[in-house]
Amino acid sequence: MEETKEQKIEVSYAKLVSNLEDFTKLYRTLLDLLRKEKENLIASNLEALDESNKTKEALIYKLRAQDTARERYARELANLVGADVKAPRLLELAQRLAGPAGDRLRAIHATLEILIRRVGEINKENETYTQSALSVLSGAMGEVKDTLAPKKTYGNQGKMAHGPEKAGNFVSKEA
């Protein structure tokens, strides 16, 4: 028995919605992870930051896989409802689907839009904290390097010479 067009649309719609719900869960997890990362950046908890980076990398890999599946399911549904197949948009699909199905896609779209915006904002804040920490660390390293470097002093006949290797040595005992 062959499926009708309505049945094909229902199956395709169900696959897309399931994918989008998983996509939303992954973005919520990423948002929570970025919030914890912000706390770890402020606390300078390097072990937690390292673990966070590993988790974030795995999560981004999952998001990319979900996004590829989302594109495939959206194209499939777009083909069935007569929407743009090359670049299917959730809002266009929602418009083509009547009633609760369209409303569901619009709600998922709004949720994803908010989550993606918040992820971007928090990620930008974390980048600012990271850059600030790196500049402080770089400045501190420069100070340590300057302290450990041999000091230049004047030698015989006004030429520059390296001074003592230990800090606190006198150049001359005479005052």
pLDDT digits (tens, 9 = 90+) for 96-153: 888 999 999 999 999 999 999 999 999 999 888 888 777 766 666 666 666 666 666 6
What was the pLDDT predicted at 113? 96
Q: Which of 153, 171, 169 is nearest to 161 (CA)?
A: 153
Checking if the pLDDT of 168 tops 60, the result is no
Whether residue 155 lies inside any domain: the answer is no
Whether residue 154 lies inside any domain: the answer is no
Question: What is the C-alpha radius of gyration for the chain, rounded to an integer number of angstroms?
Answer: 30
Whether residue 171 lies inside any domain: the answer is no
Encode pLDDT of 52-61 as tens digits: 999 999 999 9
Q: Specify which residues 160 forms β-bridges with.
A: 154
Whether residue 28 lies inside any domain: the answer is yes
Distance CA 112, CA 129 (A): 26
Residue 74 CB coordination number (10 Å): 25
What CATH number does residue 117 fall under?
Answer: 1.20.58
Of the listed ranges 9-13, 65-69, 134-138, the least confidently predicted one is: 134-138
What was the pLDDT predicted at 15? 96
pLDDT band at 163 (very low <50, low <70, confident <90, very high): low
Whether residue 174 lies inside any domain: the answer is no
Whether residue 172 lies inside any domain: the answer is no
What was the pLDDT predicted at 139? 63
What was the pLDDT predicted at 2? 65
Distance CA 6, CA 116 (A): 32
User: Cβ neighbours of residue 94 under 8 Å, at least 6 residues apart?
Assistant: 101, 102, 103, 104, 105, 106, 109
Whether residue 163 lies inside any domain: the answer is no
- Domain range holding 11? 5-149
Structure letter (DSSP) for residue 156: G
What was the pLDDT predicted at 128? 86
User: Cβ neighbours of residue 90 under 8 Å, at least 6 residues apart?
Assistant: 20, 74, 105, 106, 108, 109
* Residue 25, φ and ψ in degrees, nearest 5: -60, -40
Report the number of distinct structural domains present in the chain: 1
Helix (H) or strand (E) holding 147: helix 100-148
